[in-house]
Amino acid sequence: MTELTHPEFRIDGDRLIDRLAALAEIGAIVDTAGSSRLAFTDADKEGRDLVMTWMTDLGLDVTIDGIGNTVGLWRPDGMDETAARSAPVMTGSHIDTVRTGGRYDGNLGVLAGLEVIESLATAGIRPDRPLAVAFFSNEEGARFPPDMMGSLVYVGGMGLEDAQAITGIDGAVVGEELDRIGYRGSAPCPGLVPHAFVELHIEQGPVLEEQEIQIGVVESVQGISWTEVTIDGQSNHAGTTPMRLRHDAGYAAARIATFARQLAADLGPPQVATVGAIDLHPNLVNVVAARATLTVDLRNTDDQILQDAEARLMAELDAVARAEGVEITTRSLARFEPVSFDPTVVDLVEHTAKALGSTTLRLPSGAGHDAQMLARVCPTAMIFTPSRDGISHNPAEHTDRQDLVAGANVLAHVMMALTKT
């Protein structure tokens, strides 16, 4: 059983919930609890400004790098010089959302990190190392692929200039948007390597709720493969063109979407497959579609099976192209292998949660997270809290207050324990 360094210490749950609510007001989706803050939009800027204010009010040393990753470093007053110069224990997540996001995805991890530092400072507890809380840019990748872009750049997995040059679904360019919202900073990339990293996040799936477990101990993140598929057919008259003469990009797109569902069924769980975006051109009732662009999101915990799924998708695209007389081209938007977290930090999360009285379950993450990028450079793990009805990427996303607070307390005690390692 893990000995807690400060057994009585707890974060301020009311302040955490109030801040989650205040941040959710920015980009609020009317008549829902959710928010819309796609990366590098005006709403994202407003959210960043608010969290930055909280960071600076708390006296953190805040730095922003060239992709907009923002890190607040806490070196408590009176910390001796050697300790102050040592690598921080870092936490964090993201505050961008999908277009129809909830209020907890990412935001919980950032605001809980802030809360841990503020509550420790108020309690007069001085850790043996600096602590840091970060929000990484464009975790969602919904506007500018890939997902986890900011943390990928932070750990040196993508060049800064390459990331800044990426064009989004609306034709905007990352670097120009960063300038426009004032978040192209000058802190170096790759960034400061933490002593260890731990991220608190909602599960975004049904497992914890179904099993009535309060804290998920995340052992791994499944592999992610995003492909953009473009189909070029031929526009023609919907009334006069015999079916045998059509090169219908819309029909070809529908075949691919149906195939993706069948692929997941054939491979079985945990394989998942999603066609989340389809664009038709000219998108008119009486015109056979000339062009379709769609995305295919494939994920699996086993990279061999994921590679098999990708190969089967490519074979199907060839078959559809031949059968329908259309041209199909593809572009990889994201490809990340499955990631295993550090067993020692995973054990620490489990023991800490139990010591605080929570029930626990070890599980893999279905969603991508910034922690999977940080795992490339330092010992890393994650803490999950339950999601009502397993719903996420939806304004109805909800986690009960006591679970949010329990998760933040686990985060606090795990961070304090990591300062001793």
147: contact with ligand GLV by CB under 6 A = yes
147: contact with Mn ion by CB under 5 A = no
65: contact with ligand GLV by CB under 6 A = no
Element (H, E) at 63: strand 61-64
Distance between CA 121 and CA 58 in Å, rounded?
9
- Closer residue to Mn ion, CB minimum distance, 253 or 275: 275
- Closer residue to Mn ion, CB minimum distance, 106 or 338: 106
Q: Write out the DSSP string of 160-226.
A: HHHHHT-B-TTS-BHHHHHHHHT----B-SS-PPPSEEEEEEE--SSHHHHTT-SEEEEEEE-EEEE
Which residues lie below 8 Å from residue 240, measured CB to CB, with a gap of 6+?
Answer: none
- Closer residue to ligand GLV, CB minimum distance, 92 or 368: 368
Distance between CA 363 and CA 367 in Å, rounded?
12
* CB half-sphere exposure, 49, CA atoms < 13 A: 11
Binding mask 352-371 for ligand GLV (x = CB under 6 A): ---------------xx---
140: contact with ligand GLV by CB under 6 A = yes
Could you tell me the two tokens for 145? 């692929």
Categorise residue 286: left if φ over 0, alpha if ψ from -120 to 50, beta otherwise: alpha
With contacts defined by CB under 6 A, name the span among 19-27, 139-147, 317-325, 410-418 that binds ligand GLV.
Answer: 139-147
Q: What is the bridge-based pairing of β-strands 215-221 and 360-365?
A: parallel
118: contact with Mn ion by CB under 5 A = no
- Closer residue to ligand GLV, CB minimum distance, 140 or 316: 140
127: contact with ligand GLV by CB under 6 A = no
Distance between CA 58 and CA 43 in Å, rounded?
23
Q: Which residues within the stretch 330-349 sit at the binding site for ligand GLV (CB under 6 A)?
A: none
Q: How far is the CB of 131 from ligand GLV (least distance, A)?
A: 24
Q: How far is the CB of 87 from ligand GLV (least distance, A)?
A: 26
- Closer residue to Mn ion, CB minimum distance, 70 or 119: 70
Phi and psi at 45, nearest 5°, equal -60, -45
Q: Which does 368 bind (CB under 5 to 8 A by kind): Mn ion, ligand GLV, none?
A: ligand GLV
Q: How far is the CB of 311 from Mn ion (least distance, A)?
A: 27
Q: 380 - beta bridge partners?
A: 197
105: contact with Mn ion by CB under 5 A = yes
| Site residues for ligand GLV per CB under 6 A | 139-140, 147, 367-368
